[in-house]
């Protein structure tokens, strides 16, 4: 074996190890953003679990507002289904867009619910309603923090995947497209959790 063969083998080994390190970094970054989405999923499920309790507490006071209560539950169910679909493929642009739309619809339904509740002072003063409000506000803050952490991880993945030389190898290694951020149509919602007041 000649010197040129040894140099070629060493060069091939170095390139192979570099390719392996790029692959491992892509996998690590993808796992981080998928874990970030799992944290969002936990908080959104908690919020979705609180909404039926909220509606049940209000139902006794708001017997004439059946349509409003039903729209909140329907929006909650649609958002829960959207979350389940997004959880199957975190980072997928279509799944993230669908979840964003359903979350915006849920925020709108909760907003209409709050407007209607203003006509029921006894309900607003109810101990159960105040406790649910506190839990919902706390959960909204956790959702906002989890969403920010997820978006940071997606940004790190996308930046690495788009840089050179990973961009040359990413498609060959099963990382052909960017992960999608989880954003809402209203930029104000990104900066602060939706307000729910009773």
Give Rg (Cα) of the chain.
Answer: 23
The confidence score (pLDDT) of residue 171 equals 85
Q: Flag whether pLDDT at 191 surpasses 50.
A: no
The answer to whether the CB of 146 falls within 8 A of the CB of 39 is yes
Q: Whose CA is closest to 62, among 1, 123, 127? A: 123
pLDDT at 62 over 80: no
Per-residue H/E/C for 52-101 = HHHHHHHHCCCCCCHHHHHHHHHHHHHHHHHHHHHHHCCCCHHHHHHHHH
Q: Is the pLDDT of residue 198 over 50?
A: no
Question: Residue 14: its pLDDT value, please?
Answer: 94
| Domain ranges across the chain | 18-191
State residue 196's pLDDT score: 52
pLDDT digits (tens, 9 = 90+) for 71-119: 999 999 999 999 999 999 988 999 999 999 999 999 999 888 888 888 8
Give the mean pLDDT of the chain.
Answer: 86
pLDDT > 90 in the chain, percent: 50
Provide the pLDDT for residue 185.
58
pLDDT tens digit string along 143-173?
A: 999 999 999 999 999 999 999 988 888 888 8
CA distance 20 to 38: 27
The answer to whether residue 190 scores a pLDDT higher than 50 is: no
Determine the average pLDDT of the residues in 24-41. Answer: 94
Query: Which CATH topology does 18-191 take?
Result: de novo design (two linked rop proteins) (1.20.1440)
């Amino acid at each position: 074996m000649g010197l040129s063969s040894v140099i070629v083998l060493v060069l091939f080994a170095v390139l192979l190890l570099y390719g392996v390190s790029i692959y491992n970094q892509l996998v690590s970054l993808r796992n981080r953003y998928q874990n970030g989405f799992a944290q969002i999923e936990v908080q959104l499920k908690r919020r979705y679990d609180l909404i039926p309790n909220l509606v049940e507490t209000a139902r006794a006071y708001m017997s004439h507002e059946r349509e409003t209560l039903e729209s909140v539950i329907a929006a909650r169910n649609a958002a829960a289904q959207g979350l389940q679909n997004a959880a199957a493929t975190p980072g997928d642009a279509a799944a993230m867009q669908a979840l964003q739309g359903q979350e915006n619809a849920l925020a709108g339904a909760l907003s209409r619910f709050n407007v209607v509740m203003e006509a029921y002072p006894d309900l607003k003063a109810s101990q159960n309603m105040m406790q649910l409000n506190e839990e919902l506000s706390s959960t909204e803050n956790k959702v906002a923090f989890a969403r920010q952490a997820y978006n940071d991880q997606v940004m790190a993945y996308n930046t690495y995947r788009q840089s050179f030389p990973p961009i040359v190898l990413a498609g060959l290694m099963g990382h052909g497209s960017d992960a999608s951020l989880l954003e809402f149509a209203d930029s104000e919602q990104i900066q602060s959790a939706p307000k729910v007041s009773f």
